[in-house]
Amino acid sequence: MEVRLADCAGFCFGVKRAVDTVYEQLKNGKTIYTYGPIVHNEEVVRELAEKGVRVLESKEELKSLKAGENIPTVIIRAHGVAKEIYDIMEANGLECIDATCPFVQKIQRIAAQAEKEGAVLLVAGDKTHPEVQGIVGHTRGEVFVFADLAELKAWKGPSDPQKPLFAVAQTTFQVTKW
In this predicted model, what pLDDT tens digit does every residue of 29-69 receive, in sequence order? 888 999 999 988 899 899 999 999 999 999 999 998 877 76
Q: How far apart are CA 102 and CA 72, in angstroms?
A: 24
Q: Where is pLDDT greater, at 12 or 99?
A: 99
The tally of CA atoms less than 13 A away on the side-chain side of residue 78 is: 22
pLDDT at 27 over 70: yes
Q: Is the pLDDT of residue 10 over 70?
A: no
- pLDDT for the residue numbered 5: 73
Average pLDDT over all residues of the chain: 91
pLDDT of the residue at 71: 75
Task: Give me the active site residues, please.
Answer: 131
Q: Tell me which of 5-14, 35-44, 70-79, 114-123 is least confident.
A: 5-14
Q: What is the pLDDT of residue 171?
A: 92
DSSP string, 10-76: S--HHHHHHHHHHHHHHTTT--EEEES-SSS-HHHHHHHHHTT-EEE-SHHHHHH---SSSPPEEEE
pTM of the model: 0.87
Q: What is the tens place of the pLDDT at every residue in 102-128?
A: 999 999 999 999 999 999 999 999 999
Answer yes or no: is pLDDT of 131 > 80.
Answer: yes
In this prediction, residue 174 carries a pLDDT of 78
Residue count (the chain): 178
